[in-house]
Every structure is written in C-alpha cells, then in structure tokens.
C-alpha cells in the first residue's frame, strides 16, 4: 500500500522568508500524481500545487514550488516570500495513475506558522 | 462557479444515534469523495461515488454508508454513532474519476459525538 510521510508536524517561518516542507512517499508504481494541499484555520482544503511523476521539471505556482526527487521518493514544498496568509496545515497527497480511480492518500500534515 | 458545499457545518449527536451529512459538488462534477479527518489518524478515505455508483471504498465499518443522487449530490450516513466518530468530515468533488485530476474540497462538517 502507498504511504505518505510528513516528518515535520510543525514548522515556523518569518514573514518574507523561505520555508521548505518535507514529504516522502512509498510506492511501487511508476506513474502517479503528487499534490500539496493547504488547509487554513477555516478548514477549506485548497490545492496549492501538483506534480505528475512522469514530468522531470519541478512544478511552480507563483511563490510555491516543489523539489521532486523521483528516485528518492521525495516531494518537498518550498514557499518563498512567506506571507501571514500562508499560515495553515499543509498536506502532501498521492494518487496512482493511470486510471485515477484510486483515492488520495494523505500525509499527516505539517502545521506552518508565519511570524510577523 | 460555486464551490463544494456541505451541510450542516456543525453537528452534535449522542452515542447510538445516526447522522446524515450532505454534500453538493461543483456544478458539472460527477464524482464525490468523502474523507474523515481526525487529529490522530489524519485524513482517511471513506468512499467515492460516480454516477450514483460507489467506485471505491476505504477501510471503515459498515456503519458508514453513502449514496449519490442523479444530480450528483451525495449523502453520507453513520449509524450507531460512537465517540470515535467525532471528526471533521470532508467532501471533495472532481469532474471525472477516471482521470487523476485534483479534487476540490468543501468546508467540512464538524461532527461531535457525546
């Protein structure tokens, strides 16, 4: 079974600084998707960024970027120029391809605090 | 487009009772998934429905059931509630479960069992 591990239960970052959240996963599949979701205190889960395993180029969305290391099964999220609104729980998630007919498997999450 | 909506947002029930939660997906989305979120276990998959059929089921007891209607709205039912069922129940929708596209989540229903 696939598993997703987030080894940092809590992280903090100064406003305007950069922080990296770690995620590792275990799978025997070669094709899959990886996601980072953000859950602010209001609890609405929001997709931050996604990465297709077959793409070597790391995904980027504005201040958010990933470092995808397929061989190491590592998928870290980098937040640049951190803002107070970035404070939230961040979940790393995995889904197998090709059918997509499998549920998302989530890590336990990392709580990010942003210090003004 | 309106996002995923869930009702009610908060619910308090007593052990042994049953509860029904509702989820309305984004317009045009035909797949609805349910997740249970607790501090100890994190996010765990309950089930996914597409075209009124259950496509996938997580490792939960039979007290947890669901259904989907022809308009893609979904309900989740928990019978004989236990204290351990206290959790945030999240619903997520996507257009096509045969593609590994991202899901869009609702705000959740906070269930407290006393």
Render pLDDT for A77-91 as a digit per residue (tens, 0 to 9).
999 999 999 999 999
Sheet holding B74-78, edge to edge: B5-7, B19-24, B74-78, B64-68
Q: What is the model's pLDDT at position B2? A: 81
Q: What percent of chain A has pLDDT over 70?
A: 96
CB contact under 8 A, B107 and A44: yes
CB contact under 8 A, B107 and A47: no
CB contact under 8 A, B56 and A103: yes
Q: Distance from B35 to chain A by nearest Cα, in Å?
A: 10
In B, which residues are within 8 Å of A105 by CB distance?
A: 45
Poorest-pLDDT segment among A6-15, A96-105, B101-110: A96-105
- Better-predicted residue by pLDDT, A103 or B37: B37
- Does residue B58 contact residue B46 with C-beta atoms inside 8 Å? yes
**Chain A residues with at least one Cβ partner in B under 8 Å:** 32-33, 35, 37, 42-47, 50, 91, 95-109
Q: Mind giving me the DSSP string for B34-100?
A: EEEEETTTEEEEEEEEETTEEEEE-S--TTEEEEE-TTS-EEEEE-S--GGG-EEEEEEEES-TTS-
- Better-predicted residue by pLDDT, A100 or B8: B8
d(CA B38, CA B51): 29
Pick from A32, A42, A101: CB nearest B97: A101
pLDDT per position as a tens digit, A18-50: 999 999 999 988 888 999 999 998 778 999 999
Comparing alpha-carbon positions, the chain B residue that sits nearest to A100 is B100
Q: What is the model's pLDDT at position A100? A: 54
Q: What percent of chain A has pLDDT over 90?
A: 76
Q: DSSP letter at A63?
A: T
Pick from B3, B42, B55: CB nearest A106: B42
């Amino acid at each position: 079974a696939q598993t997703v591990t987030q080894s940092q239960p809590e992280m903090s970052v100064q406003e305007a600084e950069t922080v990296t959240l770690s995620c590792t996963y275990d799978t025997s599949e070669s094709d899959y998707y990886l996601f980072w979701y953000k859950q602010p205190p209001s609890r609405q889960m929001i997709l931050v960024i996604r990465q297709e395993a077959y793409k070597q180029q790391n995904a980027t969305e504005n201040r958010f970027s990933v470092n995808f290391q397929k061989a190491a099964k590592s998928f870290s999220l980098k937040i640049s120029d951190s803002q107070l609104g970035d404070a939230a729980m961040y979940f790393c998630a995995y889904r197998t391809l090709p059918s997509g007919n499998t549920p998302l498997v989530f890590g336990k999450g990392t709580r990010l605090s942003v210090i003004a | 487009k309106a996002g995923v909506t869930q009702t009610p947002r908060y619910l308090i029930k007593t052990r042994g009772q049953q509860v029904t939660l509702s989820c309305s997906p984004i317009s045009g989305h035909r797949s609805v998934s349910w997740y249970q979120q607790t501090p100890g276990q994190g996010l765990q998959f309950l089930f996914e429905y597409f075209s009124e059929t259950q496509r996938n089921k997580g490792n939960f007891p039979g007290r947890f059931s669901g259904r989907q209607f022809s308009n893609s709205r979904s309900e989740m039912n928990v019978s004989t509630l236990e204290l351990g069922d206290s959790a945030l129940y999240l619903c997520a929708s996507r257009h096509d479960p045969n593609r590994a596209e991202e899901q869009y989540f609702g705000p959740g229903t906070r269930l407290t069992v006393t």
